[in-house]
Amino acid sequence: HVDAGALTALPKAELHLHIEGTLEPELILELAARNGIALPFPTLELLHEQYQFTDLQSFLDLYYANMAVLVTADDFTDMTRAYLRRAKECGVRHAEIMFDPQAHVARGVELATAVNGIAAALATSVADFGISTELIAAFLRDESEGSALEVLEELLAMKAPIIGIGLDSAEVGNPPSKFIRLYKRAAEAGLRLVAHAGEEGPPSYVEDALNLLGVERIDHGIRAVEDRILVKRLVREQTPLTVCPLSNVRLRAVDTLAAHPLPQMISAGLNVCVNSDDPAYFGGYVSANFEALAAEFGWDVATVELLAGNSIRSSFASVARKAELL
């Protein structure tokens, strides 16, 4: 068995994290007051009552509504610093952070406000928190490809400090095939490619994300276990799968943590790592995910070390940075 201190001490990378999903209820209320925004759930108590989800969409509704408090660049900076502070306490030494540019532009927030606000916190993350960081622009798959392409062109034109693109939001009915031109353009621009697939969507979405979009990493990917041929391929190619166990439980992608396929995925030889997804909404940061897993499955140190090592190896960090952390 592993104790919590040892878990935390282990250097790890967080590769699946939506910065807007780190907005804690307390910070939501603080930013609402600062910006004079009237919230539908204006007290901690009323807000807390909203955190019971039945599926991905029920979470997304609250997640997008709460973004209304993000107005100025400082708001984005404060949110990002709050995450980095908590990530440091979890032993995170490298973080690849997604943000949802379209969700902010749609609310009338300038793209530069969101980008510059987040980037300001990331620029000093090593000095402030000992965490190297990268930024990934995630596009909303329930919006049109045209909208995503427009925002991508704007990000490229402003030389936004992004290392890659991702694909998130409502999965079922919005398959990878909808975004072939977006990924082609991002690849041409030299960006790294990831996408959510196989969270609520079928294994064929994982396959299509690889074949049609050319992604090098799959966010979630848990439903891949339903397809033996796909699992064989993912094992052979050692495609990283950024699994988020507490998220899967809270969004009912799995019935219980005990029923989560992660142990089976590890046994199969898949390249899996553990991430927090939207930690302010799902009951904890990356250490809480590790602790819940270790308790549920009675893991030894070797298993936890394997998963932490996978996260570093699967990251877009430099060879030198990886060597430093492994």
Binding site for Zn ion (CB under 5 A): 277
């064989």: which residue's tokens? 232
- Among all residues, whose Cβ is closest to Zn ion? 277
């379209």: which residue's tokens? 102
Q: How far is the CB of 16 from Zn ion (least distance, A)?
A: 6
| Strand intervals (E) in 50-146 | 92-99, 132-140
Neighbours of 13 (CB within 10 A): 29
> Amino acid letter at 93?
R
Instruction: Kindly report the length of the chain.
Output: 326
Is 75 a binder of ligand ADE (CB under 6 A)?
A: no
Is 250 a binder of ligand ADE (CB under 6 A)?
A: no
Catalytic residues: 199
Q: How far is the CB of 96 from ligand ADE (least distance, A)?
A: 14
Among 18, 94, 192, 250, binds ligand ADE (CB under 6 A): 18
Among 199, 207, 208, 291, binds ligand ADE (CB under 6 A): 199
In terms of CB distance, is 278 or 291 closer to ligand ADE? 278
In the list ligand ADE, Zn ion, none, the entry touching 169 (Cβ below 5 to 8 angstroms by class) is: ligand ADE
The pattern of x and - marking residues 273 through 312 that bind ligand ADE according to CB under 6 A reads ----xx----------------------------------
In the list ligand ADE, Zn ion, none, the entry touching 166 (Cβ below 5 to 8 angstroms by class) is: none
C-alpha 256/C-alpha 119 separation (Å) is 37
In the list ligand ADE, Zn ion, none, the entry touching 141 (Cβ below 5 to 8 angstroms by class) is: none
In terms of CB distance, is 78 or 278 closer to ligand ADE? 278
Q: How far is the CB of 203 from ligand ADE (least distance, A)?
A: 17
Is 217 a binder of ligand ADE (CB under 6 A)?
A: no
1 annotated to a ligand binding site = no
Is 12 a binder of ligand ADE (CB under 6 A)?
A: no
List the end-to-end C-alpha distance of the chain, in Å, as a whole number: 21
In terms of CB distance, is 277 or 291 closer to Zn ion? 277
CA-closest candidate to residue 222, choices 274, 297, 288: 274
| Strand intervals (E) in the chain | 12-18, 92-99, 132-140, 164-168, 192-197, 217-220, 240-243, 271-274
- Could you tell me if residue 198 is left (phi over 0), alpha (psi between -120 and 50 degrees) or otherwise beta? left
Is 196 a binder of ligand ADE (CB under 6 A)?
A: yes
220 annotated to a ligand binding site = no
Give the DSSP H/E element, type plus range, for residue 285: none
Q: How far is the CB of 247 from ligand ADE (least distance, A)?
A: 5
Contact 137, 160 (CB under 8 A): yes
Helices and strands in the chain: count of H runs, count of E runs: 18, 8
CA-closest candidate to residue 71, choices 20, 122, 38, 31: 31
Binding residue positions for Zn(2+): 16, 18, 196, 277
**Binding footprint of ligand ADE on the chain (CB under 6 A):** 18, 21, 56, 63, 168-169, 196, 199, 247, 277-278
